[in-house]
């Protein structure tokens, strides 16, 4: 293990790899060995490592103003809020530092809205089995994975978990106490699970009919990951609240909770806050990220490269019986195996490719939006070589 590792709390299943440098789709360890990075900071490095537009924006901002209290306005924050509103359904934005914090903000806003619009007894939020919304206590309570909740009881009350991609279950579950449904357009942490077409639109219809808020957790799917800026766009619908983080800052930590005005207006001074939320430095990086996605045409490129990657993996599936399914949208792709995925991840790392495993048997690939066909070919070749040794 690297020097200093003993001083870190044991909260991650890390290997001994120590990364020191990154550029584009590649990273380098302390020994100078290069790796093709298809983890992408877990869908964070939207533009790859150290994209020159993000680097330049951060350099300029760090010399001007790094942090101010939210008792005052700062220019990058105002510009970023305006940009997010302009390109989404939302009217207002709350900035924080992570996806979990964005979830907490959404829970608080929903509860406060309900007190004004639904009465004191309405407090139930419906969420999905297999979902992942973060590891803080509210977000963990919303998460539909009991194994992650064990040891942290009592959880926050007021959540009920339903089958994902089951519209009938949602329709039956909505009752007089229900105030919101929170759902991921794609369940990334549960193995890149995609709902059937029409499911999200059906939830939108139900929520509208029953005066229930619809919250989309787009922490992993947002900012171009699926080939659209936001995954909800694929079904031509809009939520009432949306959470963002991961890819928004181009590698810097930022989260956001967006909402329509009639819901957002429920918050008043003192309702919620975040000391570092929306500070000038991270907002400058986020602005550079959004502008680069637009100016370099990365959304259609993501769609194109995602189709190319899925096509290559489907061919691989036809040749490797160890693969039971290949699925995804854009550049969020899962390869489901008959066997445990961690040994495959470790073998790929030894071959110079970084991927990760989720739901124990699903290899998850999240390359940056700038990935090329050549880099996809290289990654698939390594995966094929590793699986051939297991599948033979």
Task: Indicate which residues carry an active-site annotation.
Answer: 132, 217, 246
Q: How far apart are the first and last CA of the chain?
A: 32
Torsion of CA 151, 154, 156, 158, to 10 degrees: 120
Alpha carbon distance 192, 202 (integer Å): 20
Task: Give me 386's structure tokens.
Answer: 């590793």
Helical (H) or strand (E) element with 124? strand 124-128
Torsion of CA 92, 97, 102, 107, to 10 degrees: -110
Q: Hey, is 381 helix, strand or coil?
A: helix
8 A C-beta contact, residue 144 and residue 184? no
Task: Give me 141's structure tokens.
Answer: 């309570």
Alpha carbon distance 392, 381 (integer Å): 16
Q: Hey, is 89 helix, strand or coil?
A: coil
> What string of DSSP letters covers 34-85?
EEEESSHHHHT-TT-BT-HHHHHHHHHHHTT-S---TTS--HHHHHHHHHHH
Please count the other Cβ atoms lying within 10 Å of the Cβ belonging to residue 304.
Answer: 14
Alpha carbon distance 327, 335 (integer Å): 7
8 A C-beta contact, residue 136 and residue 101? yes
Alpha carbon distance 264, 165 (integer Å): 28
Task: Give me 166's structure tokens.
Answer: 């089951």
Length of the chain: 392
């Amino acid at each position: 293990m690297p020097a200093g590792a003993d001083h870190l709390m044991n909260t991650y299943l890390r290997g001994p790899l120590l990364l020191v440098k990154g550029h584009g789709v590649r990273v380098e360890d302390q020994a100078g060995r290069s790796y093709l990075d298809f983890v992408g900071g877990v869908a964070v490095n939207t533009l790859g490592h150290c994209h020159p537009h993000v680097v330049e924006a951060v350099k300029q901002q760090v010399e001007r103003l790094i942090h101010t209290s939210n008792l005052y306005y700062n220019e990058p924050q105002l510009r970023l809020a305006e940009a997010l509103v302009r390109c989404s359904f939302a009217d207002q934005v709350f900035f924080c530092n992570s996806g979990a914090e964005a979830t907490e903000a959404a829970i608080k806003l929903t509860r406060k809205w309900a007190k004004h619009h639904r009465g004191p007894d309405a407090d139930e939020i419906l969420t999905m089995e297999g979902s992942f919304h973060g590891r803080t206590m509210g977000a963990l309570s919303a998460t539909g994975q009991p194994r992650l909740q064990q040891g942290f009881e009592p959880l926050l009350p007021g959540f009920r978990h339903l089958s994902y991609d089951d519209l009938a279950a949602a329709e039956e579950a909505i009752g007089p106490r229900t105030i919101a449904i929170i759902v991921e357009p794609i369940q990334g942490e549960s193995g890149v699970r995609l709902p059937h077409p029409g499911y999200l639109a059906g939830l939108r219809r139900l929520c509208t009919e029953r005066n229930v808020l619809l919250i989309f957790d787009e922490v992993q799917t947002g900012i171009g990951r699926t080939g659209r800026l936001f995954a909800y766009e694929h079904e031509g619908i809009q939520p009432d609240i949306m959470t963002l983080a991961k890819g928004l800052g181009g590698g810097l930590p930022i989260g956001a909770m967006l909402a329509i005005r009639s819901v957002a207006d429920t918050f008043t001074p003192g309702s919620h806050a975040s000391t570092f939320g929306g500070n000038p430095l991270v907002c400058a990086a986020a602005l550079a990220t959004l502008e680069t996605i637009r100016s370099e045409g990365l959304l259609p490129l993501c769609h194109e490269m995602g189709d190319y990657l899925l096509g290559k993996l489907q061919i691989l599936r036809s040749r490797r019986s160890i693969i039971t399914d290949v699925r995804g949208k854009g550049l969020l792709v899962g390869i489901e195996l008959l066997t445990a995925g961690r040994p495959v991840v470790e073998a790929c790392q030894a071959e110079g490719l970084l991927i990760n495993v989720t739901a124990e048997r699903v290899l998850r690939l999240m390359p940056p939006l700038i990935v090329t066909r050549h880099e996809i070919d290289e990654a698939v070749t390594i995966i094929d070589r590793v699986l051939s040794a297991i599948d033979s």
